[in-house]
Amino acid sequence: MEEIFILASNNEHKAIELRKKLQKYGIKLLTQKEAGFNIEVDETGETFKENAMLKAEAIYNLSNKPTIADDSGLEVDALDGQPGVHSHRFAETDDERINKLLHMLKDVPDEKRTARFKTTICYIDKLGEKHFFDGVCEGKIGYEKKGTNGFGFDPIFICNGKTFAERTTEEKNEISHRGKATAKFLEYIEKMGNHVEL
């Protein structure tokens, strides 16, 4: 019998990627909207873990089904870890976020432009138990946008000589913070098999 998981998000990029990977375990993934829960959760947490948990709990409490949520963001060392948990609320649009960040770093030399993307996935199983999976990708901030693939800060985040936006989705998933956290989550699902934990 097919198991239903709910993604506490309506982000189609995330849903498509995860849906493909969960199919082989007999799991059908629905976005929260597809599951009939059209709500916005206030991300009031101080950490990625707290925000992921807030989103997962909100949908789990409504659906009583296994729920997955994640929260991620960019930490820039020269800005004392900003924008961090406020990455999505840093400005209105991706372009505005990028321009604001580049402006804040305009006098920062290359060696001090270190940064990292972080993500935390919160998975609540059908018993209501919470499980957390983290991913980190180290890199630095460039001086201008490069590449057209991706979203958010991808065009200015450089890792191993290329921005995230200059990579294919597959290449990015191999090294990205979200890719690493997702791999740990899927490893856990595989280990549990079709046990009651699902």
Examine the residue annotation and report whether 134 is marked as an active-site residue of this protein. Answer: no
Q: Among the options 42, 70, 71, 94, which is catalytic?
A: 71
- State the virtual CA torsion across 178, 180, 184, 189 in degrees, nearest 10: 50
Question: Residue type at 49?
Answer: K
Q: Number of C-alpha atoms within 13 angstroms, CB side, residue 158?
A: 14
Do the Cβ atoms of 139 and 117 come closer than 8 Å?
Answer: yes
Residues 6+ apart with CB under 8 A from 111: none
Residues with active-site annotation: 71
